[in-house]
Structure 1
Amino acid sequence: MTTDSQKIRFFRRHIPSFACLPGCHDCCGPVTTSSEEMARLPVKSRAVHEAALADLSCPHLGDEGCRVYAERPLICRLFGTTPGLPCPHGRRPEVMTDRRIEQQIHHFFAATRQVLV
Protein backbone atom coordinates (compact mmCIF):
# COMPACT_ATOMS: atom_id res chain seq x y z
CA MET A 1 0.00 0.00 0.00
CA THR A 2 1.33 3.43 -0.95
CA THR A 3 1.57 5.96 1.87
CA ASP A 4 0.70 9.64 1.52
CA SER A 5 4.39 10.45 1.87
CA GLN A 6 5.25 8.16 -1.07
CA LYS A 7 2.46 9.69 -3.16
CA ILE A 8 3.70 13.21 -2.41
CA ARG A 9 7.26 12.27 -3.42
CA PHE A 10 5.94 10.70 -6.64
CA PHE A 11 3.85 13.77 -7.50
CA ARG A 12 6.72 16.15 -6.74
CA ARG A 13 8.94 14.27 -9.19
CA HIS A 14 6.29 14.60 -11.91
CA ILE A 15 5.47 18.31 -11.61
CA PRO A 16 7.84 20.29 -13.82
CA SER A 17 9.45 23.45 -12.54
CA PHE A 18 9.90 26.76 -14.28
CA ALA A 19 11.34 30.19 -13.55
CA CYS A 20 8.83 32.51 -11.92
CA LEU A 21 8.85 36.23 -12.55
CA PRO A 22 11.24 37.63 -9.91
CA GLY A 23 9.33 39.41 -7.16
CA CYS A 24 5.95 38.02 -8.20
CA HIS A 25 3.91 36.31 -5.52
CA ASP A 26 0.53 36.29 -7.28
CA CYS A 27 -0.01 32.59 -6.58
CA CYS A 28 1.08 32.85 -2.92
CA GLY A 29 -2.36 33.32 -1.45
CA PRO A 30 -4.16 31.23 1.12
CA VAL A 31 -4.06 27.57 0.09
CA THR A 32 -4.90 24.25 1.65
CA THR A 33 -2.63 21.26 1.85
CA SER A 34 -2.61 17.76 3.26
CA SER A 35 -1.79 17.21 6.91
CA GLU A 36 1.29 15.27 5.75
CA GLU A 37 2.63 18.28 3.84
CA MET A 38 1.66 20.70 6.60
CA ALA A 39 3.72 18.67 9.07
CA ARG A 40 6.81 19.39 6.92
CA LEU A 41 6.38 23.16 7.25
CA PRO A 42 7.57 25.32 10.15
CA VAL A 43 4.87 26.00 12.73
CA LYS A 44 3.55 29.56 12.60
CA SER A 45 1.67 31.34 15.36
CA ARG A 46 -2.04 31.97 15.18
CA ALA A 47 -1.31 35.71 14.84
CA VAL A 48 0.95 35.10 11.82
CA HIS A 49 -1.72 32.90 10.20
CA GLU A 50 -4.44 35.48 10.85
CA ALA A 51 -2.32 38.33 9.45
CA ALA A 52 -1.51 36.33 6.31
CA LEU A 53 -5.15 35.42 5.80
CA ALA A 54 -6.20 39.06 6.25
CA ASP A 55 -3.68 39.98 3.50
CA LEU A 56 -4.82 37.03 1.32
CA SER A 57 -1.25 35.81 1.55
CA CYS A 58 0.67 32.78 2.79
CA PRO A 59 2.25 32.73 6.26
CA HIS A 60 5.45 31.35 4.68
CA LEU A 61 5.87 34.22 2.24
CA GLY A 62 8.71 36.56 3.15
CA ASP A 63 10.20 39.69 1.60
CA GLU A 64 12.45 37.54 -0.59
CA GLY A 65 9.74 35.07 -1.60
CA CYS A 66 8.73 31.65 -0.35
CA ARG A 67 10.58 30.72 2.82
CA VAL A 68 9.64 27.04 2.45
CA TYR A 69 10.20 26.70 -1.30
CA ALA A 70 11.84 23.26 -1.10
CA GLU A 71 8.93 21.93 0.97
CA ARG A 72 6.12 23.96 -0.64
CA PRO A 73 2.85 22.04 -0.96
CA LEU A 74 1.72 20.28 -4.12
CA ILE A 75 -0.87 22.96 -4.89
CA CYS A 76 1.89 25.59 -4.93
CA ARG A 77 3.95 23.41 -7.26
CA LEU A 78 1.01 23.01 -9.65
CA PHE A 79 0.53 26.76 -10.20
CA GLY A 80 1.70 27.61 -13.70
CA THR A 81 2.17 23.98 -14.71
CA THR A 82 -1.43 23.15 -15.68
CA PRO A 83 -4.00 24.92 -17.87
CA GLY A 84 -6.39 25.08 -14.88
CA LEU A 85 -3.87 26.97 -12.71
CA PRO A 86 -2.09 29.30 -15.15
CA CYS A 87 0.56 31.80 -14.20
CA PRO A 88 -1.00 35.26 -14.55
CA HIS A 89 2.20 36.39 -16.30
CA GLY A 90 2.26 33.57 -18.84
CA ARG A 91 5.24 31.78 -17.34
CA ARG A 92 5.21 28.00 -17.64
CA PRO A 93 7.50 25.01 -17.97
CA GLU A 94 8.53 23.78 -21.39
CA VAL A 95 6.33 20.71 -20.85
CA MET A 96 3.23 21.06 -18.69
CA THR A 97 2.24 18.58 -15.97
CA ASP A 98 0.83 15.43 -17.55
CA ARG A 99 -2.97 15.47 -17.35
CA ARG A 100 -3.05 12.00 -15.76
CA ILE A 101 -0.66 13.14 -13.03
CA GLU A 102 -2.75 16.28 -12.49
CA GLN A 103 -5.89 14.15 -12.16
CA GLN A 104 -4.15 11.87 -9.67
CA ILE A 105 -3.08 14.90 -7.63
CA HIS A 106 -6.62 16.29 -7.57
CA HIS A 107 -7.88 12.86 -6.51
CA PHE A 108 -5.26 12.88 -3.74
CA PHE A 109 -6.52 16.32 -2.63
CA ALA A 110 -10.10 15.04 -2.53
CA ALA A 111 -9.15 11.86 -0.67
CA THR A 112 -7.01 13.47 2.05
CA ARG A 113 -7.82 15.87 4.84
CA GLN A 114 -6.85 19.37 3.75
CA VAL A 115 -5.83 22.12 6.16
CA LEU A 116 -5.27 25.83 5.62
CA VAL A 117 -1.57 26.65 5.32
Structure 2
Amino acid sequence: MTPNDRTIEALRRRIPSFTCIVGCHDCCGPVTASSEEVARLPTRTEAEHAKALSDLSCPYLGKHGCEVYGERPLICRLFGTTPRLPCPNGKRPVYMIDTRTEAEIHQFLARTRQVLL
Protein backbone atom coordinates (compact mmCIF):
# COMPACT_ATOMS: atom_id res chain seq x y z
CA MET A 1 0.00 0.00 0.00
CA THR A 2 1.43 3.35 -1.04
CA PRO A 3 1.44 6.48 1.14
CA ASN A 4 -1.30 7.94 -1.08
CA ASP A 5 -3.40 4.78 -0.64
CA ARG A 6 -3.04 5.13 3.14
CA THR A 7 -4.05 8.81 2.91
CA ILE A 8 -7.13 7.92 0.85
CA GLU A 9 -8.18 5.30 3.40
CA ALA A 10 -7.64 7.68 6.32
CA LEU A 11 -9.61 10.47 4.64
CA ARG A 12 -12.45 8.13 3.66
CA ARG A 13 -12.91 7.14 7.31
CA ARG A 14 -13.33 10.82 8.24
CA ILE A 15 -16.04 11.64 5.68
CA PRO A 16 -19.53 11.37 7.22
CA SER A 17 -22.05 9.20 5.43
CA PHE A 18 -25.75 9.50 4.82
CA THR A 19 -28.43 7.69 2.86
CA CYS A 20 -29.10 8.95 -0.64
CA ILE A 21 -32.48 8.81 -2.33
CA VAL A 22 -32.72 5.41 -4.01
CA GLY A 23 -32.15 5.78 -7.74
CA CYS A 24 -30.86 9.34 -7.51
CA HIS A 25 -27.74 10.23 -9.42
CA ASP A 26 -28.08 14.02 -9.47
CA CYS A 27 -24.52 14.46 -8.14
CA CYS A 28 -23.00 12.02 -10.61
CA GLY A 29 -21.14 13.47 -13.50
CA PRO A 30 -17.70 13.98 -14.85
CA VAL A 31 -15.26 14.31 -11.96
CA THR A 32 -11.56 14.00 -11.48
CA ALA A 33 -9.96 11.50 -9.15
CA SER A 34 -6.43 10.65 -8.13
CA SER A 35 -4.59 8.02 -10.13
CA GLU A 36 -4.63 5.76 -7.06
CA GLU A 37 -8.41 6.03 -6.78
CA VAL A 38 -8.87 5.30 -10.49
CA ALA A 39 -6.59 2.26 -10.21
CA ARG A 40 -9.11 0.74 -7.77
CA LEU A 41 -11.95 1.00 -10.30
CA PRO A 42 -12.83 -1.43 -13.09
CA THR A 43 -11.40 -0.51 -16.48
CA ARG A 44 -13.71 1.29 -18.87
CA THR A 45 -13.10 1.69 -22.58
CA GLU A 46 -12.36 5.01 -24.22
CA ALA A 47 -15.78 4.74 -25.87
CA GLU A 48 -17.49 4.31 -22.49
CA HIS A 49 -15.62 7.32 -21.11
CA ALA A 50 -16.43 9.40 -24.21
CA LYS A 51 -20.14 8.47 -24.03
CA ALA A 52 -20.32 9.36 -20.33
CA LEU A 53 -18.54 12.66 -20.92
CA SER A 54 -20.86 13.57 -23.80
CA ASP A 55 -23.83 12.83 -21.51
CA LEU A 56 -22.20 14.79 -18.64
CA SER A 57 -22.37 11.56 -16.69
CA CYS A 58 -20.00 9.07 -15.09
CA PRO A 59 -18.78 5.89 -16.79
CA TYR A 60 -19.49 4.01 -13.55
CA LEU A 61 -23.14 5.05 -13.35
CA GLY A 62 -25.36 2.10 -14.24
CA LYS A 63 -29.11 1.73 -14.45
CA HIS A 64 -29.22 0.97 -10.71
CA GLY A 65 -26.90 3.78 -9.65
CA CYS A 66 -23.20 3.87 -8.87
CA GLU A 67 -21.57 0.59 -9.81
CA VAL A 68 -18.43 1.35 -7.75
CA TYR A 69 -20.07 2.88 -4.69
CA GLY A 70 -17.72 1.19 -2.21
CA GLU A 71 -14.68 2.46 -4.12
CA ARG A 72 -16.06 5.80 -5.29
CA PRO A 73 -13.50 8.63 -5.29
CA LEU A 74 -13.11 11.14 -2.48
CA ILE A 75 -14.79 13.91 -4.47
CA CYS A 76 -17.90 11.75 -4.89
CA ARG A 77 -17.93 11.02 -1.17
CA LEU A 78 -17.87 14.76 -0.40
CA PHE A 79 -21.15 15.48 -2.20
CA GLY A 80 -23.83 16.23 0.37
CA THR A 81 -21.38 16.34 3.30
CA THR A 82 -20.31 19.97 2.90
CA PRO A 83 -22.17 23.21 2.14
CA ARG A 84 -19.76 23.68 -0.80
CA LEU A 85 -21.10 20.51 -2.51
CA PRO A 86 -24.72 20.25 -1.36
CA CYS A 87 -27.03 17.38 -2.25
CA PRO A 88 -29.53 18.72 -4.81
CA ASN A 89 -32.27 16.87 -2.87
CA GLY A 90 -31.36 18.29 0.53
CA LYS A 91 -29.98 15.04 1.97
CA ARG A 92 -27.05 15.28 4.38
CA PRO A 93 -25.42 13.51 7.28
CA VAL A 94 -26.36 14.42 10.83
CA TYR A 95 -23.00 16.17 11.19
CA MET A 96 -21.37 17.75 8.16
CA ILE A 97 -17.70 17.12 7.41
CA ASP A 98 -15.32 19.12 9.55
CA THR A 99 -13.56 21.92 7.69
CA ARG A 100 -10.10 20.55 8.48
CA THR A 101 -10.85 17.19 6.84
CA GLU A 102 -12.41 18.88 3.84
CA ALA A 103 -9.33 21.08 3.45
CA GLU A 104 -7.06 18.03 3.71
CA ILE A 105 -9.05 16.29 0.96
CA HIS A 106 -8.75 19.30 -1.34
CA GLN A 107 -5.02 19.56 -0.58
CA PHE A 108 -4.59 15.85 -1.39
CA LEU A 109 -6.48 16.27 -4.66
CA ALA A 110 -4.39 19.34 -5.54
CA ARG A 111 -1.08 17.55 -5.01
CA THR A 112 -1.92 14.26 -6.74
CA ARG A 113 -2.24 13.50 -10.42
CA GLN A 114 -5.90 13.74 -11.35
CA VAL A 115 -7.69 11.68 -14.00
CA LEU A 116 -11.02 12.61 -15.58
CA LEU A 117 -13.77 10.05 -14.99
Q: TM-score, normalised by structure 1?
A: 0.97
Name 1:77's counterpart in structure 2.
77
**Distance apart, 1:24 and its partner CA:** 1.0
Name 1:109's counterpart in structure 2.
109
- Superposition RMSD in Å: 0.9
* SS in structure 2 of the partner of residue 76 of structure 1: helix
Measure, in 2, the Cα distance between the counterparts of 1:55 and 1:61: 11
Name 2:88's counterpart in structure 1.
88
Name 2:99's counterpart in structure 1.
99
* SS in structure 2 of the partner of residue 33 of structure 1: strand
* SS in structure 1 of the partner of residue 88 of structure 2: coil
The C-alpha deviation readout for 1:55-78, integer Å capped at 9, x for no partner, is 000000000000000000000000
Runs of 4+ in 1 over 3 A off after TM superposition: none
Q: Aligned pairs, how many? A: 116
**Distance apart, 1:45 and its partner CA:** 0.4
Matches within 5 A, 1:1-117: 3-117=3-117
Measure, in 1, the Cα distance between the counterparts of 2:44 and 2:27: 20
* SS in structure 1 of the partner of residue 33 of structure 2: strand
Identity value in percent: 65
**Distance apart, 1:30 and its partner CA:** 0.3
**Distance apart, 1:22 and its partner CA:** 1.4
The C-alpha deviation readout for 1:16-74, integer Å capped at 9, x for no partner, is 11011111101110000000000000000011000000100000000000000000000
Write the letter of the residue equivalent to 1:54: S
Unaligned runs of 5+ in 1: none
